[in-house]
């Protein structure tokens, strides 16, 4: 039951454009073990900064 709920939440986050910190940490550990792990706050701040780096994409 728990894994099903986690899967559903992961899909909802992905569809809504919200990043998944847990998946990112798993990826870093598996593919880039030499890189330091960011804190959740650092991760989300970087996500927001990258997402809005070019300014708004709509007029309103």
Tens of pLDDT along 5-58? 988 888 888 888 778 888 899 999 999 999 999 999 999 999 888 888 876 666
> Which pLDDT score is estimated for 6?
85
Residue 58 lies in a domain: no
Q: How many domains does the chain have?
A: 1
Residue 27 lies in a domain: yes
Residue 59 lies in a domain: no
- Domain hosting 46: range is 2-51
Measured between alpha carbons, how far is 34 from 24 in angstroms, rounded to an integer? 14
What's the distance, Cα to Cα, between the start and end of the chain in Å? 41
> Which pLDDT score is estimated for 54?
77
Residue 57 lies in a domain: no
Residue 31 lies in a domain: yes
Of the two residues 40 and 59, the one the predictor is more confident about is: 40
> Which pLDDT score is estimated for 37?
96
pTM: 0.62
């Amino acid at each position: 039951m728990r894994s099903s709920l986690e899967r559903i939440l992961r899909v909802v986050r992905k569809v809504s454009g919200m990043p998944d910190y847990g998946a990112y940490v798993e990826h870093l550990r598996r593919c880039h073990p030499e890189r330091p792990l960011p804190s959740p706050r650092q991760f989300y701040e970087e996500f927001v900064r990258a997402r809005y780096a070019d300014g708004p994409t709509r007029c309103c």
